[in-house]
A and B are shown apart, each in its own frame.
Chain A
């Protein structure tokens, strides 16, 4: 392993420590990751675009500041990848859609601004299902991302690019967004860590909205501690987002380092582990529970009966909000414009032609469903009823958290499936999110971390859910479980992933 390759194997916390000690410069670390991207991203396709110049300029700035003795933030100089749904000033942002293929945002999202202020070089933008609609990254207009564990399999979605970039050692950290599980499910199938903070815990300003009452940005990493460090960087109040929580996220790094579960009550949700769960997924989950019990946690079974209806409610609320949010993609002020082949050229015909040509199948499917659900005669029965289910799910969570400190389940019912396996069957695809969706409907925080390999030698994710604004509990339990498992494995799970074929880097 070359010195440069070795730098890409470090966790963000380890790299930050080396940067602080002066053992390595941010420029070297950033260059090592850019080289790794050149070497492996051809087949993986985690990135839609790479900004080598911008990343190196940011790295040089941090190095100069450090040399001048400035007091720098904890992750200063650690490079990061950003899901392409988060807008970046001056850098193309597509949301995985032809609609925005060449769009250069005239402003930064709050998340982007916070990363820049923290001195974190942005390596590039990661691939995703178009407008974050999907569970496999097969719906990207620019081709799928492949799972670093098996290139014939999906990396999860919609944030498959972010998780694959971290899993393939192309970036130590990434930003994802989670509307129904798009941070946690990709983390599960790529053997990485992903966190959906409490709704409102990270600003949505500058995130290209899918469903505004469900969307939440959060960290993607290889360790629980790394997610905690990144979460504290982005988890601050933002006056530009009216749903942003007033208090910043604190105590997360401390909770991750402490990582102890003695005396904690951990609830296993009966409804998130039954039929449809792959046996190897179930076995890995049960083993993790045994470890937590051995470390002093009390394991209790809890029932959340209304979770059964979460998926159905979600697939009414999401398309309804998406159909409204995506109305702005009309070919008038930004992005693609297509004129109709025949007939008059008016704003109305140009909008229809643009949207017909610019949106992919999954986006059209959800806009049509959402418009149908919101149209006269259907609103009460569809959207209104779905919002009632939301109340029932919140009640289930409240009752469960009266008996427990956290809830746990497998993150996804199966390991990574093969490309094309579910793309023609929307319900089969949607079922993949059955365990992650309730948290979005209720706004509670969730984490997925690797619990081992299934019988098919692919990673399994362990999901932890906590009450709203008790994000620190995710890190406490996650930190503890990660330590117990890595002791058992003799190192991180990702060390067991097959080596990717590398291309020679020429500079």
Chain B
């Protein structure tokens, strides 16, 4: 049975882009371990002969005509943004210094 170490929590938190304090990392490692144990049950019955079901209803591709329409009001969208300038979202620096 795999367990989730503090190092793994820290690695995953970085992947998920969540800043965690060291206390949070330690606490989560302990709690996730309990869940991970329960999860091992699944592997008892998930044998190779069982097909996986990804969705409760059979999915089919759905398309609609590509028609120009009023979708969202720009001012309402930007009013909910943490920062906006010149009718656009203003975001922190995206490219690194080396880019």
CB distance from B82 to the nearest CB of A (A): 3
A315, A337, A351: the one contacting B38 at CB < 8 Å is: A315
B20, B77, B93: the one contacting A345 at CB < 8 Å is: B93
Query: Given that A104-B76, A106-B73, A323-B16 are contacting pairs, would A369 and B32 also be in contact in the complex, using a CB cutoff of 8 Å?
Result: yes
**Cβ-defined contact, A334 with B46, below 8 A:** no
Q: Which residues of B contact A391 (CB under 8 A)?
A: 50-53
Interface hit among A17-25, A139-147, A360-368, A481-489: A360-368
Chain B: interface residue total (CB-CB under 8 A): 55
**Cβ-defined contact, A365 with B53, below 8 A:** no
**Cβ-defined contact, B42 with A313, below 8 A:** yes
**Cβ-defined contact, B28 with A352, below 8 A:** no
Main secondary structure of the interface of A (DSSP, over half): helix
Interface residues on A, range: 35 or more
* Contact residues of A between 345 and 365, Cβ < 8 Å to B: 345-353, 355-357, 359, 361, 364-365
CB distance from A254 to the nearest CB of B (A): 25
* Contact residues of B between 43 and 99, Cβ < 8 Å to A: 43-47, 50-57, 59, 61-62, 64, 72-73, 76-77, 79-83, 89, 91-94, 96
Summed over the interface, the residue pairs from A and B with CB atoms below 8 Å come to a total of 175
**Cβ-defined contact, A368 with B72, below 8 A:** no
Contact of A270 with B by CB under 8 A: no
Complex CA distance for A351 and B53, rounded to whole angstroms = 33
Complex CA distance for A249 and B61, rounded to whole angstroms = 22
Q: Which residues of B contact A385 (CB under 8 A)?
A: 42-43, 46
Q: Which residue of A lies closest to B8 (CB)?
A: A372
Q: Which residues of A contact B73 (CB under 8 A)?
A: 106
Q: Which residues of A contact B72 (CB under 8 A)?
A: 106-107
Complex CA distance for A213 and B54, rounded to whole angstroms = 8
Q: Which residue of B lies closest to A391 (CB)?
A: B53
Contact of A273 with B by CB under 8 A: no
**Cβ-defined contact, A364 with B39, below 8 A:** no
B17, B50, B56, B57: the one contacting A388 at CB < 8 Å is: B50
B4, B28, B51, B92: the one contacting A364 at CB < 8 Å is: B28
Query: Given that A371-B15, A427-B35 are contacting pairs, would A200 and B43 also be in contact in the complex, using a CB cutoff of 8 Å?
Result: no
Contact of A473 with B by CB under 8 A: no
Complex CA distance for A214 and B56, rounded to whole angstroms = 8
The 4 A-B residue pairs with the shortest CB-CB distance, nearest first, are A443-B56, A356-B19, A337-B82, A385-B46
Instruction: Give me the interface of B with A, judged by CB distance under 8 Å.
Output: 4, 8-9, 12-20, 24, 28, 31-32, 34-35, 38-47, 50-57, 59, 61-62, 64, 72-73, 76-77, 79-83, 89, 91-94, 96
Instruction: Give me the interface of A with B, judged by CB distance under 8 Å.
Output: 103-107, 199-200, 213-214, 239, 242-243, 245, 306, 308-309, 311-313, 315-316, 323, 330-337, 339-340, 344-353, 355-357, 359, 361, 364-365, 367-369, 371-372, 375, 381-382, 384-392, 394, 426-427, 440-444, 468
